[in-house]
Chains A and B, each alone.
Chain A
Amino acid sequence: MKTNDVILQTATKVVFFIIFLFSVHIFFVGHYAPGGGFVGGLLTTGAIVLLLLAFDLKTIQQILPFNFTIVTAIGLVLALSTAGASIFFNVPFFTHAYDDFNLPLFGKTSLHTAMFFDSGVYLVVVGSAITIIQSIGGDD
């Protein structure tokens, strides 16, 4: 039976942005507060899963036209190249570099190459989780 999902769909359209924003926040505060690439990625996955529950698989593939296997691959390459780049500077594998920068708008900000590694983790988590869900859910 086809039911009318107007309440679920309208609420999802609003709640999706709140969850997504919170996942980005969790991702960025990872260095100083609980959070980081893994939970940030899982929370983004959760937001996309909510869209999948409210709408159908085809619609979501249209609005997010990524091949999530490739997203996972990009994440792995990003993490590996961040770790491997330290070799070229004559320091042990996985040595990170950081410095303080004066950015416009943000003020004095400390930038750290661990961020790139975290972005890799984030992309791997989102890519693999969505691939699992889409390949299980896509079987008709």
Chain B
Amino acid sequence: MAFQILLNFFIAVVWMFMTSSLTPSTFIIGYIIGLLMIIMTRRYFRSRLYVWRIWSALKLTAIFLRELIMSNISVLMLVIKPDLSTMQPMFFALPTELEQDWEITLLSSLITLTPGTVVVHVSDDQRTLYIHAIDVDDVDEAIDSIKNTFEKAIMEVSRG
């Protein structure tokens, strides 16, 4: 992915020298031409086209913002009208398929930033995250909701 961006940048610089005008607008035109060339020659690259990765990073940001607003509202309702008889705070373990350090850091930051859940510990083999949640009805449902939103989105950014 880094190689594709570098190549695109390089094509843009070559375009600037060819047209012998060193302005930002020439650079942007050269960058777009380079992007079209990379899309045409996409079969030569081993990894996916880098545009898709930027797109999935944007999607991850959108998912995060949506989750942030939704869980803020649900915690607000919990604070305004606490129902202590049915409230069920608990710790649970979340098995994760993420491997790299930055992926785990990103996942735990996203879980911690959404109100209602806090990552308290990462296991030594980095396969399990221990999470505290204020109000959980069903553990499997909570695990599934994190896995389907954040983990899937992070995997889309880092893999393939």
Q: Once bound together, how far apart are the Cα atoms of A6 and B99, in whole Å? A: 11
Q: Give complex CA distance A9, B101 in Å.
A: 9
Q: Given the complex of chains A and B, what is the CA–CA distance between A73 and B71 in angstroms? A: 55
B108 at the binding interface (Cβ < 8 Å) = yes
Most chain B CB atoms below 10 A, which of A2, A6, A9 = A6
Please give the number of chain B residues whose Cβ is less than 8 angstroms from any Cβ of chain A in the complex. Answer: 12
How extensive is the interface on chain A, given as a class?
under 10
Interface residue? B105 (CB, 8 A): yes
CB distance from A131 to the nearest CB of B (A): 31
Write the B10-49 contact mask toward A (1 if CB under 8 angstroms, else 0).
0000000000000000000000000000000000000000
A4 with B124: CB separation less than 8 A: yes
A3 within 8 A of B: yes
Could you tell me the distance between the alpha carbons of A4 and B104 in the complex, rounded to whole angstroms? 12
> What A residues does B119 contact at CB under 8 A?
7
User: Do residues A6 and B105 form an inter-chain contact, with CB atoms below 8 A?
Assistant: yes
Which positions 76-121 of chain B face chain A at CB distance < 8 Å? 101-102, 104-105, 108-109, 119, 121
Q: Is the CB of B124 within 8 A of A10?
A: no
Q: Does residue A33 face the partner (Cβ distance < 8 Å to B)?
A: no
Cβ-defined contact, A4 with B123, below 8 A: yes
Docked complex Cα distance between A10 and B104 (Å)? 9
Q: Which 7 A-B pairs have the closest CB atoms?
A: A10-B105, A4-B122, A10-B101, A7-B105, A4-B124, A6-B101, A7-B108
Q: Can you spell out 25 A-B residue pairs with CB atoms less than 8 angstroms apart?
A: A2-B124, A3-B121, A4-B121, A4-B122, A4-B123, A4-B124, A4-B126, A6-B101, A6-B104, A6-B105, A6-B122, A6-B126, A7-B104, A7-B105, A7-B108, A7-B109, A7-B119, A7-B122, A9-B101, A10-B101, A10-B102, A10-B104, A10-B105, A11-B105, A11-B109
- 4 new A-B contacts, CB < 8 A, other than A6-B105, A6-B122, are A4-B123, A4-B124, A10-B101, A11-B105
